[in-house]
Each structure stands twice: as structure tokens, then as C-alpha cells.
Amino acid sequence: MSDCTYDCSSCGKDCSSRRSADFLKKPHEMSSIKHVVAVVSGKGGVGKSMTCASLAVEAARHGLSVAVMDADLTGPSIPKMFGLNERAMGSDKGILPCVTKDLGIQVMSMNLLLENEDEPVIWRGSLISGTVTQFWTDVIWAGVDILFIDMPPGTGDVPLTVFQSIPLDGAIVVTTPQSLVGMIVGKCVNMADMMNVPILGIVENMSYVKCPCCDTKIPVFGESSVDAVALEHGIPRVAKIPVDPSLAAMADAGKTEESDTSCLRDFFTGILSDIEETSKGENKDVN
């Protein structure tokens, strides 16, 4: 298309160049990545980063070699959750991710490149999108079975760039139980559909509180409608994470690697089997 602005969300047409090889970027020549899964949310503050970090921990507990790309450039929280305070190292060959101490999860984030982690990133969208693309092309992701991308919330520039330029196996939508969930999940699903990226599952975070006396699940934010929403959009699986102060405390203390991720176990097993079946074990190398 000669008049293509590369903004598929505004065009809305199902054109043949969408997510074609013209858009996809090649990873660093020294990278080896089997699967890439984006973790998205329709709005901020739903626990997307916490869910992304927990999925990475659960994947590593399956014995996989795991990486996390923190594409939430203006609100990067992944390094803190994993207790990473150092700076990422680079050479003339590329940038090396930092590695978590217990499970060896490779992490790249804007906060690992800044002199001071309190420094705000006050950049235009195009610069932010370019940096996220570099996290794919210039970082050496060595021997990775699964790379999770913690996306910024919503359906703006960065999610669009990631959907178009990185060969995703699929996306996981994170939400919370409230009446807007249908509409918010709908936006994520429609964006992913437009980019031909399958939605692998929905995580309902802060789904309930477990009574400390009798283990009853109390739906503090109202009854969940996530199963109905998943059914409506043909999304194959749902996971529910409780409100758990220990999760927040672990994240604040940089000890997410020690947190209980058992509520994501079956969910992750299902996702892994889906993406392994689709990719047939091939590495990401788009050209």
C-alpha cells in the first residue's frame, strides 16, 4: 500500500502487509529465542508487571530459560521486582541483559540503562518505540526458551510497534474484576486480532481475597465476569490471581523469584503447549 502510515489501528483494513516480513525486525545475530509472549493490559495499575514477572518465575520453575523485556519504558518496574540494581553492560557487539540471582532470568529495562533509577523518561512516543525495537534488535538474548514482553498499558504507539515488529507467539491479557472488563479486554483482543496475534489467555488479577480462617474466596471487587468474557472472545484459558499482600511485599523487596506462582501453573502449562505446537520448535529469525 503506497499510502500506508504504518498505523494499522487507525486504518482498520485487513491489508496483506500487516505483520508481514516488511514490518518484522530481525533479532540480534547472537540472540537465540524460541518463543515471545506479550503481556498486555487495557489500562494501568491492574498488576500487569507483577503478572508478567510471576509468569517468568513460573516458566523458570518449569526448567525453561526465561527472559523479560520491560517495554513499559516510562513506568519500568521489572528490575525492582527482581532486585536488580546494577547497570546493563554493553560492548561493540550488543547490549547484555542483567540476570536475576536465583532463577537466572535475563532482564532488559530502561531502568538498567539509566544512571539514576529515579530519572524520568520524558520522551516522545516515536523515541520510546524506537528504544523498544532496539531491546529486540540490539540486546543479546542468549539461549532463551521464552521471552515475556511487559507492555505499557493501552493500545498506543509502543504496543503497536511491538505487535508489528516482533514476531510474537501470542499475547496474554491482564485485567481485574470490574464491570469495565468486557470493554477493556475487547480493545486488547481487537488490537491483537488486527495484528494477527493470538490471545493465549486472560489473567484476572486481584480476583478474590482468600479468608485467612476458612480459605473461602471472597470476591472483594465484585463477582468475576472473566470466564464469560473469555468465552465470548474465544480465549482458551483463564487464570485467577488473588489479592495477596505477600505478593506486593515480595515485589517491593525485590524477591519476586521467591513468590508463590502456583495459581499460574496450569495456565502456563497450557500456553506453553499451545505455542510449542504452533512454532514446531523453530527459533525466531524473521529473514
Q: Which residues bind ligand ADP (CB under 6 A)?
A: 41, 44-50, 77, 205-206, 241, 243-245, 247-248, 251
Least distance to ligand ADP, CB of residue 249, Å: 8
Alpha-carbon distance of 60 to 82, in angstroms, equals 13
Least distance to ligand ADP, CB of residue 100, Å: 17
Single-letter residue type at 240: K
Least distance to ligand ADP, CB of residue 34, Å: 25
Q: Which is nearer to ligand ADP, 26 or 255 (CB)?
A: 255
Least distance to ligand ADP, CB of residue 201, Å: 17
Q: Which is nearer to ligand ADP, 71 or 140 (CB)?
A: 71
Pairing of strands 238-240, 199-204: parallel
Least distance to ligand ADP, CB of residue 221, Å: 11
* Burial bucket for residue 148 (CB in 10 Å: 0-12, 13-18, 19+): buried
Alpha-carbon distance of 69 to 132, in angstroms, equals 9
Position of minimal CB gap to ligand ADP: 47
- 8 Å CB contact between 24 and 157: no
Q: Which is nearer to ligand ADP, 8 or 189 (CB)?
A: 189
Q: Which is nearer to ligand ADP, 42 or 167 (CB)?
A: 42
Q: Residue 97: which of 139, 128, 129 has the closest Cα?
A: 139
Single-letter residue type at 63: G
CA 15 to chain centre: 26
Q: Which is nearer to ligand ADP, 45 or 63 (CB)?
A: 45
